[in-house]
Copies of this chain bind each other. A is one copy, B any other.
Amino acid sequence: MDKGTVIGLVAGLGLVIVSMLMGGSVAAFFDIPSLLIVLGGTFAATLVNFPMGDVIGVMKVTQKVIKEEIMPSSKYIDQIVDISKKARTNGLLAIEEDLNNVDEDFMRVTLQHVVNGTENEDLGKLMDAELAIMTQRHKIGQRMYSAMGTYAPAFGMIGTLIGLIQMLQHLDDPASVGPGMAMAMITTFYGALFANLFFLPMAGKLKLRSEQEIQFKEMLLMGVMAIQAEESPRVIQSKLVTYLTPAERKTMAGAGEEG
């Protein structure tokens, strides 16, 4: 469960609502038609921009971002080092029985290739291609949220223009000018809020998540290929530890000394 995303959204909305309450009521800011043109327009432009399947799929991606745990790299480094010890003692085929204990799909598939005897260079090429294509798939989610972060303020402005043009055509009643402009500006407010509290930050988080995942899988791939090349477990560990942050390294070193 990614707490940051949820806390950020709740806190941001909370602040905005408190800010409204201090100057009057929240009700004045809640207008279904305004909501409809901003969110609906954004969604319509997104449908023109992206394949329909991806637009629907973005809900799933969003859920994934909010739910998913970050992967504990150190656990997998330990597992790779353990497997490398076994492989050095009993040969590469002995890995097969460990495959079921590997709970990471990409790592298991790569190890399966090792057991199947795919050659080192071919394995590298195959898995690099897989990562490249995965990166490209991830980018669509980021681009969709970025695009929505552009379309939302634009449709906010479009809504405001509609409201202003209608108000300006009927200036007979001066008393209605203020509320008319206030009404017109609500769509701009919605556009700015959705873009800056949700769409753009989500695009940012998807980008970071994707980078983390790719880096994590590159680490796994490097580890498995080192197993295949029958490098010493010590060397493999020192290579993989490069991928950890200084903090993670200390934790791992501490655990290692105990072990």
Give the chain B neighbours of A55 by CB distance below 8 A.
4
Give the chain B neighbours of A245 by CB distance below 8 A.
137
Find out whether the CB atom of B204 lies under 8 angstroms from the CB atom of A28. no
Residue in A3, A18, A24, A44 with the greatest tally of chain B CB atoms within 10 Å: A44
Find out whether the CB atom of B3 lies under 8 angstroms from the CB atom of A162. no
A170 at the interface (CB under 8 A from B): yes
A221 to B239, CA, bound (A): 17
Find out whether the CB atom of B15 lies under 8 angstroms from the CB atom of A197. no
Interface string of A48-87 (1 = CB under 8 A from B): 1111100100000000000000100000000000000000
A165 at the interface (CB under 8 A from B): yes
Find out whether the CB atom of B239 lies under 8 angstroms from the CB atom of A126. yes
What number of A residues sit within 8 Å (CB to CB) of B? Answer: 91
Give the chain B neighbours of A136 by CB distance below 8 A.
211, 215
This chain: how many copies in the complex? 5
- Within residues 136 to 166 of chain A, which ones have a CB less than 8 A from any CB in chain B? 136-137, 140, 143, 147, 150-151, 154-155, 157-159, 161-166
A82 to B12, CA, bound (A): 57
A202 at the interface (CB under 8 A from B): yes
Known interface pairs A47-B8, A48-B198, A192-B157. Does A169 touch B164 (Cβ–Cβ under 8 Å)? Answer: no
Known interface pairs A29-B165, A33-B22. Does A196 touch B126 (Cβ–Cβ under 8 Å)? Answer: no
A185 at the interface (CB under 8 A from B): yes
Find out whether the CB atom of B8 lies under 8 angstroms from the CB atom of A48. yes
A223 at the interface (CB under 8 A from B): no
Interface string of A21-52 (1 = CB under 8 A from B): 01110001100010011001101111111111
Find out whether the CB atom of B45 lies under 8 angstroms from the CB atom of A197. yes
Find out whether the CB atom of A170 lies under 8 angstroms from the CB atom of B162. no
Known interface pairs A40-B15, A126-B238, A188-B161. Does A243 touch B133 (Cβ–Cβ under 8 Å)? Answer: yes
Interface string of A163-193 (1 = CB under 8 A from B): 1111011110001011101100110110011
Please, which residue of chain B has its CB at the minimum distance from the CB of A66? B48
Tell which of B70, B154, B175 touches A196, judged by Cβ atoms closer than 8 Å. B154
When A and B form their complex, which 10 residue pairs have the shortest distance between CB atoms, in order from nearest? Answer: A8-B47, A12-B44, A48-B201, A171-B178, A49-B204, A8-B48, A4-B52, A168-B182, A49-B201, A154-B196
